[in-house]
Amino acid sequence: MKLRGWSPPDHGALFVVSGASGTGKTTLLRAALDRVPGLEFSVSATTRAPRRGERDGVDYHFVAPDAFREMQRAGELLEHAEVYGTLYGTPRAPVLQALAEGRSIVLDIDVQGAGQVRAVYPEAVTIFVLPPRIEVIRERLVGRGTDGPEVVERRIRDATEQIARCGEYDYLVMNDVLETANAQLQGIFLAELSRRSRREGWVRAVTGGVRA
Ligand code: 5GP
């Protein structure tokens, strides 16, 4: 349920959320997008096949490798990366349009992509979701049942490498107890969107344009 009485800021923010598969990042993001009015999810392009329940154009734009390469060649991607032999990328136009219109947008991308976004948009707010222990990732991936044992082990190795780079991020979210992690992630979004520099509208509304 959306927070009542919360208005989007005058100037939107670009949020980057990373965290290895199995950290529960998608669950946390869904809850935050459901709760914080005005936050929008950036739908990435990927060459991987949809998992059960994933919808084209909602979770990802599922594209063939040729189509992906063409988007890349035409400069249509804000960032891109290869993860486990699969290509992932953020379509540039919707992100730039959202920011130009003062809307806020959330990118769920890996550490390579986050570095590229930071290089072109240093104001991006970056958040890294940590699992309480590496073993929890294995349990979650096995529980999800979509990856074979080899893929699970590869994702765990990759998770360890990604976690080693969490020092590049502004915020950490520890996803041990879901309720607490949700409060943390939503708290970060709300705090960043409450920055005075984004909230001239609130001051104007109170003072009727007269500044103290
Ligand atoms: P999954 O295949 O489990 O949905 O995602 C695997 C990894 O790819 C996750 O770490 C996710 O954040 C990352 N990812 C998803 N979309 C993008 C994207 O557009 N760019 C980059 N760089 N990484 C992405």
Give the mean pLDDT of 177-200: 97
Task: Kindly report the protein residue whose alpha carbon is nearest to atom 24 of ligand 1.
Answer: 109
Distance 77 CA to ligand 1 centre (A): 14
**Total of domains in the chain:** 1
Phi (first) and psi of residue 58, to 5 degrees: -110, -60
Any domain includes 135: yes
- Report which ligand 1 atom has the smallest distance to the Cα of 60: 16
Given a cut of 90, is residue 20 above it in pLDDT? no
CATH code at 178?
3.40.50.300
Given a cut of 80, is residue 21 above it in pLDDT? no
Task: Kindly report the protein residue whose alpha carbon is nearest to atom 3 of ligand 1.
Answer: 21
Q: What pLDDT does 198 receive? A: 94
Phi (first) and psi of residue 30, to 5 degrees: -60, -45
Distance 108 CA to ligand 1 centre (A): 6
Name the band, by pLDDT with cuts 50, 70 and 90, for residue 31.
very high
Given a cut of 80, is residue 118 above it in pLDDT? yes
Expressed as residue numbers, the domain containing 80 is 14-196
Any domain includes 205: no
Any domain includes 3: no
Any domain includes 201: no
Distance 199 CA to ligand 1 centre (A): 32
Any domain includes 126: yes
201 strand-pairing partners: none
Any domain includes 184: yes
Nearest alpha carbon to residue 29 among 190, 181, 195: 181
Task: Kindly report the protein residue whose alpha carbon is nearest to atom 2 of ligand 1.
Answer: 48
Task: Kindly report the protein residue whose alpha carbon is nearest to atom 14 of ligand 1.
Answer: 109
Task: Kindly report the protein residue whose alpha carbon is nearest to atom 22 of ligand 1.
Answer: 113
Q: What percent of the chain has pLDDT over 90?
A: 77
The tokens for 14 are 């670009």
Q: What pLDDT does 123 receive? A: 96
Residue 60: C-alpha distances to residues 28, 53, 78, 131, 179 (Å): 17, 12, 15, 24, 26
Q: What pLDDT does 212 receive? A: 55
Task: Kindly report the protein residue whose alpha carbon is nearest to atom 17 of ligand 1.
Answer: 109
Distance 59 CA to ligand 1 centre (A): 11
- Mean pLDDT (the chain, rounded): 93
Any domain includes 203: no
User: In a mutational test of the pocket of ligand 1, which residue from 83, 169, 173 has the highest number of ligand atoms less than 8 Å from its CB?
Assistant: 83
Q: What percent of the chain has pLDDT over 70?
A: 98
- Report which ligand 1 atom has the smallest distance to the Cα of 162: 10
Any domain includes 7: no
Q: What pLDDT does 26 receive? A: 92
Letter for the amino acid at 29? L
